[in-house]
Every structure is written in structure tokens, then in C-alpha cells.
Amino acid sequence: MTVIELPDEQAAVLKAKAAAEGLSLEAWLQKLAQEERPAGPPHRHIADVILENMRDVPLEVMTRMPQDGASQHDHYIYGWPKKQE
């Protein structure tokens, strides 16, 4: 058995929550430990997230974007000289 020490105020809150469900604190904690947690949102590939975010970018903006933006990102973000390719 593991003993977990809590401040009295926190222990009282947990006991009250257990009592509200008609359970002892130990039974309530066991019930919580056995409950399945709902799964979070499914993991999506980053490319899908980017495409979804770019979907609403107007065509006029997309046509003005540099064609070498990925390879020359330091130039466009920080103003560094372009890399020689």
C-alpha cells in the first residue's frame, strides 16, 4: 500500500466528493483509477494541419508567396542573405 500525504483541506475536498457518490475515499479513488480516460483528438499529420490552415488563404496571396520559401526561409524570416543553391 502507498500512502499519499495531502494537506487537510485537499483531503477534505476529496472525501466530500467521495461521499457525494456514496463511496468511501478509498473506494472512490479506486473507481477513478479504473475509469478509462476519453481518448484525445486523433493525431493528424502535420501536412494535413498545414493544408487545412492554408485552405482559406486567398489565391492572390498564394501567388505572391516566394517559390523558394522553404529552402530560403532564413532569408524571408530573418533577412539573412539567400543561400547559394
| Entry pTM | 0.42
At 32-79, the pLDDT tens digits run 988 877 777 888 899 999 999 999 999 999 999 999 988 999 999 999
Position 63, amino acid: T
pLDDT recorded at residue 85 = 72
At 3-33, the pLDDT tens digits run 889 999 999 999 999 999 999 999 999 999 8
In our burial notation (b when 16+ CB lie closer than 10 A, e otherwise), range 21-56 reads eeeeeeebeeeeeeeeeeeeeeeeeeeeeeeeeeee
